[in-house]
Structure formats: C-alpha cells, structure tokens
Amino acid sequence: MKTKTEGSRGWGRAGQIGTVIVVGVAVMLWTTAVSASAQSGENNGLEQRVEALEQQQQTAADKLAITQQLADYGLLFNGDGPHGPDRAKWGEQMFTGDGSFLAFDANLNVDTPKNFPNIKDEIASAIAGQPAVWPNTANPNGSMHYVFNPVFESLTATTAVTDSQSMIVNAVKGTSKVNTIKIAVYHDTWRKTNGVWKKVVSTWYELD
C-alpha cells in the first residue's frame, strides 16, 4: 500500500509526463504550421515566377508576330520574286479592314491621293492595279517596300502601337538605275483578333 507521499510523487510524475506530452504536441503542431506556411509561401513565389516567365514568353511571341507581319508587308505588296505581288492576301492578312490609312508628305501636308478613310478602299485600289500577268514585262520599272524592325510604343495582350522606318525604292528593272527613293515612317495601331495581329489604323509620314 502506497503512502500518501508516494502517491503524491506518482501524481507529480504523471503531471510532469502529461505536461511534456502537451508541450511536445504543441511544438509538433507549431512546427507543422510553420512548415505549411513556408511551403505555401514557396509555392506562391514559384507560381509568380512561372507566371512572369509565361508573360515574358508571350510578349516576345507577340513582338515576333508583328515583326513578321511587317516583313510580309513588302513581299505581298511588291512580290517575292517568282510569284509576284498578292495584294488581295496583303489586304486580308495585314488589315482588320475597319480602320484607315493616312499619308503625309515631307512638309506634313496631307497626301490626299494616298489617304483612305476606309482601308478597304485602299485594298480594292491596290488589287485593281495589280498586274494581270507576272512578271509584268510591259512595265520597265519595279519597286519594293523595305520595312525595318518596329519600335513598340505599347503592347498589351490584344493591342499594340508601333513605329517602323521604311524605304520605298522604284528602279529600272535589270539595271542599277534608281528612279525614286522614299524614306518614311509608319505609325501603326494593331489589334490581335483570333490570334492574328493586324493593322487597324496605319499612318504614313514621308521624311526629308
């Protein structure tokens, strides 16, 4: 039979053990919570980095797509050599069709013959003037639009504004004789529709 003192000691040891167990459980819970919080923070940081990388990749892809369109601009309008111009495709591929084409000469005067309030009219005019047979042996001259890489003034997921230097050369076929050279800048507003970048409004400034 235990004495009162022995019983008190037993209860004391049991209390100590209970306290240790409670403290141990508390420490485990705290450690688990801290670990979960840290893991959550790491996951959020990783998601943010992945999202930023995906955004950078999409921006690069959009810039490349617009640059490609500007390269095709001259090839479709003037011809790529063996096939000649395809201005119907030029109009369909380059423009949304609901904007305008505006032209200014070197003195910043409106170049009326080159202005089209509705760009569909410009497309129709370009198609009407396209040679029925290629090469066009009846014309001793040939021309080409050289559009250089654009400067991006703004770019979002669906819209863009660019400035592009350009040079339009008209020369005598088969010779080194140049008739005219025009230096100009295109200011273009773009819209991405069904995954394709097209010009909405194109403003052309001839330079000295």
| Exposure letters 78-100 (e unless 16+ CB within 10 A, then b) | bbeeeeebbbeebbeebbbeebb
- Range 183-202 average pLDDT: 97
Is the per-residue pLDDT at 152 higher than 90? yes
Which of residues 11 and 157 earns the better pLDDT score? 157
Q: Which of 203, 200, 204, 195 is nearest to 65 (CA)?
A: 195
Alpha-carbon torsion (181, 182, 185, 190), positive or negative? negative
Q: Give 36's pLDDT tier (boundaries 50, 70, 90).
A: low
Q: How far apart are CA 79 and CA 99, in angstroms?
A: 24
- Range 193-207 average pLDDT: 96
Paired sense of beta strands 196-206 and 101-104, if any: parallel
Is the per-residue pLDDT at 2 higher than 60? no
Which pLDDT score, from 0 to 100, does residue 16 have?
60
Paired sense of beta strands 159-172 and 101-104, if any: unpaired
Block residue for tokens 């066009």: 136
- Range 133-140 average pLDDT: 90
Alpha-carbon torsion (70, 71, 74, 79), positive or negative? negative
Mean pLDDT of the chain: 87
pTM, full prediction? 0.77
Alpha-carbon torsion (50, 54, 55, 57), positive or negative? positive
Q: Give 127's pLDDT tier (boundaries 50, 70, 90).
A: very high
Is the per-residue pLDDT at 92 higher than 70? yes
Which pLDDT score, from 0 to 100, does residue 43 have?
78
Q: Which two tokens stand for residue 8?
A: 């008190």
Q: Which of 145, 154, 151, 182 is nearest to 164 (CA)?
A: 151
- Give residue 22's region: left, alpha or beta (phi > 0; psi -120 to 50): alpha
Fold of 50-206: Nuclear Transport Factor 2; Chain: A, (3.10.450)
Which of residues 19 and 86 earns the better pLDDT score? 86
Q: Give the Cβ contact number of residue 122 at 10 Å.
A: 20
